[in-house]
C-alpha cells in the first residue's frame, strides 16, 4: 500500500516539474532588415568623378576603374544612390591612334558600392554622345593649301569676272592621332544601359 501511494505521488509531481523546467515555445519572429525595391530605368544618368587617370596609352583592355557619385540621386523622395557611392568597371575596348583619328576607348560599369557596404550589380557605360566612345576625334589637317577663289558679279546683261583671290583650305592629309586621357578628378556621367533593381535597407 505504501509503495502504491509513493508511485501515485511521483506521477502527480513529475508533470509539474517538467512544466517548470521546459520553456514554453512561442512563435519566433527574427529581426530582419526590411527592404523596398525600386528599379532605375534604362537611360538614367549619374554624375561621377574619376579617382585615377585613365589613358589609352598606359591602361590595357580590362583595366579596372573606379568612379564616385558627386550628388544624391532621388526617386519618389527616396535617396536611392547616395553621394559618394562608388562605381566599378573596366576598359572594355581600346582603339589605338591612327593617322586622322585619335585613340578611343569604351568603359563599362558593372557594380556599385553604396557607402554602407551594400553591393548592387549594374549595366552601364561612361557616357558620351558618340555611342559612349571616349575620344576618337578627327585630327587637325597636316597641311594647308592655297586655292584660288573666283568671284563674279552680274552687271546689266553680262557677268563681270573679277580677279581671283587666294583662300587657304585644309589639304587632304591629316596629322597622326594622339592617345586619349581622362584625368583624375574629372567630372563624367554614367548612363545605365539596362533597368537596375535597387534594394534599399530600411534604417531608423
For the chain, domain boundaries: 37-139+176-201, 140-173
What's the Cα-to-Cα distance from 98 to each of 95, 144, 177, rounded to whole Å? 9, 20, 5
The set of cell numbers assigned to 38 is 525600386
Identify the pLDDT of residue 181. Answer: 98
pLDDT tens sequence across 137-159: 999 888 778 777 666 665 556 65
Q: In the predicted model, is pLDDT for residue 38 greater than 50? A: yes
130 Cβ neighbours under 8 A, 6+ residues apart: 136
Q: What CATH number has the domain spanning 37-139+176-201?
A: 2.40.128.260
How far apart are the C-alpha atoms of 152 and 158, rounded to whole Å?
10
Q: Tell me the three state secondary structure of residue 42.
A: coil
| pLDDT tens digits, one per residue of 115-132 | 989 999 999 999 999 999
Q: What are 41-82's pLDDT values in tens digits?
A: 999 999 999 999 999 999 999 999 999 999 999 887 888 899
Task: Say whether pTM exceeds 0.75.
Answer: no
Amino acid at each position: 500500500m505504501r509503495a502504491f501511494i509513493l508511485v501515485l505521488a511521483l506521477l502527480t509531481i513529475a508533470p509539474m516539474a517538467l512544466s517548470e523546467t521546459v520553456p514554453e515555445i512561442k512563435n519566433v519572429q527574427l529581426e530582419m532588415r526590411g527592404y523596398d525595391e525600386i528599379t532605375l530605368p534604362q537611360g538614367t544618368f549619374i554624375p561621377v568623378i574619376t579617382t585615377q587617370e585613365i589613358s589609352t596609352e598606359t591602361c590595357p583592355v580590362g583595366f579596372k576603374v573606379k568612379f564616385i557619385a558627386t550628388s544624391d540621386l532621388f526617386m519618389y523622395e527616396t535617396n536611392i544612390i547616395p553621394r559618394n557611392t562608388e562605381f566599378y568597371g573596366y576598359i572594355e575596348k581600346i582603339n589605338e591612334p591612327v593617322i586622322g583619328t585619335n585613340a578611343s576607348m569604351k568603359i563599362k560599369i558593372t557594380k556599385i558600392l553604396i557607402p554602407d557596404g551594400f553591393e548592387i550589380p549594374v549595366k552601364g557605360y561612361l557616357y558620351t554622345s558618340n555611342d559612349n566612345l571616349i575620344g576618337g576625334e578627327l585630327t587637325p589637317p597636316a597641311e594647308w593649301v592655297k586655292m584660288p577663289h573666283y568671284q563674279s558679279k552680274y552687271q546689266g546683261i553680262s557677268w563681270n569676272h573679277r580677279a581671283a583671290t587666294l583662300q587657304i583650305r585644309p589639304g587632304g592629309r591629316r596629322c597622326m592621332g594622339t592617345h586619349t586621357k581622362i584625368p583624375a578628378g574629372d567630372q563624367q556621367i554614367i548612363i545605365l544601359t539596362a533597368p537596375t533593381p535597387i534594394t534599399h535597407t530600411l534604417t531608423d
